[in-house]
Structure formats: structure tokens, C-alpha cells
Amino acid sequence: MSEVVKIKKGLDIKMVGKAEHTLQVSKSSDLFAIKPTDFHNLTPKLLVRVDDEVKVGTALFQDKYRPEIKFTSPVSGKVVAVNRGERRRILEVVIESDGKHDVLEFKKGSAATLSADEIKENLLGMGLWPFIKQRPYGIIANPESKPKAIFISGFDSAPLAPDYAFILKDQLSSFQAGIDLLAKMSGAPVHVSLPAGQDSPLKQVKNAKLHTFAGPHPAGNVGIQIHHIAPINKGETVWTVGPQEVAMIGRSLENGHLIAEKIVALAGSEVIKPQYYKTTLGTSIKEIVAANIKEGNVRYISGNVLTGTKISKSNFLGFYDSLLSVIPEGDYYELFGWALPGFGKFSTSRTFFSWLTPNKEYRLDTNYHGGERAFVMSGEYNKVVPMEVMPVQLLKAILAEDIDAMEQLGIYEVIEEDFALCEFVCTSKIDSQEIIRNGLNLMIKELS
């Protein structure tokens, strides 16, 4: 194993309600959905209609411009709804499970028996391909592209993050199979990053280069890891896959059909018993949160509190998410809130007396805690972006739509999650993640 990469900049936001290491299997939902909105830059083309019968692995929609990329049903049953939003944009394709697990069969095999092309075909056919994202841009990888390397972050450092050592402890062989398959298909080296100071079961993984990262969030962000292992230059492409998805790839291909089971953490201050659930991709969260959420106005977030998506309590878990966070809404007024000493208010600045209690876990809510302003303070972002990137300058280049400056300042290396902490610490309450995504979209548009 290579030496430990120490991340110095960053911030661990300590929140109440981390999931305990217990796995709940019983509760299972009837409704599942795949949401085209989970994928950046995707124009979906619908392949099913309401009332169509589908099997596990039946394509529901495909990428209009790259039709080989398909999005398939995680369960067998019936399409019950295609929900649309503004301008008839497809929001979700909802399937009601019949509990039968009828599967669409593909060629079964491992890295040793399948050829690179067969692996790719299976991934595309089963609907597993969208798990492979590419950098730059953080979009679904192009099946035609040859990546320089594949990066897998074996841990998550975000607030309330699920513990992948726990999630993957019984899926090691599938994880290994996934790595072997990805390596064979791409012909590129696979890098797996592990947390320092934790005895991760992933340490035994072979056929991949292991790296160890220490330090605060965003040490677990794959973008930060890429930056420290082998930064992306203009014209280069790398692929990234989530750890649980690697195991899903391995398991599905070895069995010859899609097995979309996954383990999801339910966490947050408003959860009565935060724990893990064994469920299936795209599950409705209704059964998971039923009778396990405290009273009051709460927000359900598919993903973590920094980068996740706000969903309703009858909506569905996001395609890439292994975490469901539940925190209080912050729609209240606070008299002279900006002037109070602030003993219980978590802040990176010492202007609140919460610096007296550095290890306290906080019950953070969704209030902005102030109004949006122009950039005033400087140097705040630098403290939370552990990359050789000047965050404010990059954001300003994006706002100015200066493509050359964006390239020079490192737009290829970042996606919005790498700027989530900037957004958290920002005194002026600037929505940096949105700016970054707009910048990435601009790059895609200009360079295609």
C-alpha cells in the first residue's frame, strides 16, 4: 500500500444522528422509480408506457443521444406512472413490484470468462452503465471513450455518511469481481482509496492500486483523491464508480442478470433510530421512514446534507445515493439571531461561541442563516478545498463565462460536490455548487 495522503484543508461537520451498525431487512417497498433528473445532461427517451409489464433489467428509457445507454427497471412488475414536471420533462418512471423477481437474462460470467466487449455489452444492457461516471464534468461515461484510469473512493467523509466498511463487509467477493470486470473492460488501472485509521475490509482488494487518505471531509470525495493521485489534464478522461455500485456490477454480471439490491443508511437528527436498510435501487422511501421519524417539519434528503437532493417523504431514493438524511427544516424566524452569542450554533468562524465545544454534534437545519450578498470575505473557500485550485477565481471565471480561464483554473478537475463545503462556509451565502454545474454545462456545450 502506498503512503498516506494527508488532507489538511476541509471541514468535518459533526451532526447528530449517524446511522448505527444495524441492518434492517424486513421492510420492503412496492414502488420503485428511476429518475432521469439524477443524471446531468441527460435527455431521456422513454421506452415503456404506463401499464407495461417489465422484468428486472427491462429498459425504461435511454439516452436520446447515446441510445446504447439504457436505464432499466430494478424490479419486475408494472409501470404505474410516468411523472412529468415543467415542460413535460420526465421526472420519474415508477414501477410497482410484483415481488416475483422475473429477470431478463444476460450472458453470465466473470472477468476471466467474458471478453471486454461482452462486459461492456452486459453493463449497458443491464442498465449498470450509468453507474460509471466520467471526469471531467461528472456525467455518465461515454462507452466509446478510453479512460486514463478508474477511481473508486472506498469511503465517504461527508456529514452523516454511510460507513462503507459496514455496507461492504459481506459483499467483498462481489466488489472484487466488479473491480476485475471494470479493469478488464477498460484496460485501465483501477485505483481504490481507503480511509486512514480504519480497518476497512477493502484492504484485501487485489487487481487495484490502493491509496490511503487521512483528514477531514472532503477527503472521501473521489475528485479530491484523483487530484492527489493523478490529476486530470485537458483532453484526459477518467471514470469514477461508487463502491457499492462496484459490488452491484460484480454480483449482477456473475449471475447473468441485474441484482439491484443495495444497502442504504437512514441518518439525521430527526430519525428516531438511525440505521441501515437493505433495499433495492430506486426504492420509495415511504416504508423506510414510516414510524421512524420524529414529529415536526423535516426535510428528506436523498444523499448527504451537502450535495443531496430534497425529496418528499413518498418520493424515491436517488440512483447514486446510499444515504437518506432527515434534518429539520429551518423555516423559522430568529429574533436578533445574528447578534446572539451563539453557543449552540455550528460555525467555522469563531464569531459564535460554539468554538468552545469543538466535538459537539449539532442538529443543523436548513435555514440559510442570512441573506445572499456579493463576495466580501476572501480566503474562506481556500480553507475547505484541498486542491491546487483557486476556488473564488474559478467561480468568477464561470460567472464571466471565460472558457480559457475556466480551463486554466481547473474546471476539468472539479464537480459540484467538491465545492459543497464552500457553499457551507460562505458568509455571503453564494450557491457555489450551482455555479460549478453551470460552468460544467457551459464547457460541455462549448466543447462538443
Partner 1 sequence: MDGLRKIVDQLKPTFSKGGKLAKLESTFEAFETFLFVPNKTTHVGAHVRDYMDLKRTMVIVVLAMIPALLFGMYNVGLQHSISIGETWSIMDSFLFGLIKVLPIIVVSYVTGLGIEFAFAQVRHHEVNEGFLVSGMLIPLIVPVDVPLWMVALATAFAVIIGKEVFGGTGMNIVNPALTARAFLFFAYPAQMSGDKIWVEGLSQGEGIVDGYSGATALAEAAAGNMQNLPSVAEMFFGTIIGSIGETSTFAILIGALILLYTGVGNWKIMLSFVVGGFLMGTLLNVFATDTNPYMSLPAYQHLFLGGFAFGAVFMITDPVTAAQTERGKWIYGFLGGFIAILVRVVNPAYPEGVMLAILLVNVFAPLIDYYVVKGHVKRRMKRFAVKA
Binding mask 218-247 for partner 1 (x = CB under 8 A): ------------xx-x--------------
DSSP-assigned states of every residue in 1-55:
--PEEEP-S-----BS-PPPS-EE-S---SEEEE-GGGSTT--EEE---TT-EE-
By the 8 A CB rule, do 276 and 265 touch? yes
Q: Which of 21, 100, 332, 341 binds partner 1 (CB under 8 A)?
A: 332
Q: Taking CB under 8 A as the criterion, which residues in 400-419 touch partner 1? A: 408-410, 416
Question: Please, what is the minimum distance in Å from the beta carbon of residue 329 to partner 1?
Answer: 6
Given the complex with partner 1, which of 42 and 394 has the nearer CB atom?
394
Contact between 382 and partner 1 by CB under 8 A: the answer reads yes
- Which residue, among 63, 68, 60, 65, has the nearest Cα to 93 in the 3D structure? 60
Give the interface segment with partner 1, choosing from 75-83, 84-92, 196-204, 377-385 (CB under 8 A).
377-385
- Asked if residue 142 binds partner 1 (CB under 8 A), the reply is no
Q: Which three cell numbers stand for residue 386?
A: 484541498
| Of residues 152 and 420, the one with the C-beta less far from partner 1 | 420
Q: Is residue 367 at the binding interface for partner 1, with CB under 8 A as the rule? A: yes
Among residues 334, 360, 399, 401, the one that binds partner 1 under rule CB under 8 A: 334
336 is a site residue for partner 1 (CB under 8 A): yes
Q: Which of residues 287-316 bind partner 1 (CB under 8 A)?
A: 299, 301, 305-308, 310
Alpha carbon of 47 to those of 72, 106, 394, 426: distances in Å?
10, 19, 40, 43
- Could you say which of 1, 112, 291, 335 contacts partner 1 (CB under 8 A)? 335
Residues 13-72 that bind partner 1 (CB under 8 A): 13, 15
Q: What does DSSP assign to residue 95?
A: E
| 3-state DSSP assignment of residue 234 | coil
Q: What gap in Å lies between CA 322 and CA 320, rounded to an integer?
A: 7
d(CA 297, CA 189): 47
Q: How far apart are alpha carbons 271 and 295 in whole angstroms?
A: 10
| Span near partner 1 by CB under 8 A; candidates 44-52, 129-137, 242-250, 373-381 | 373-381
375 binds partner 1 (CB under 8 A): yes
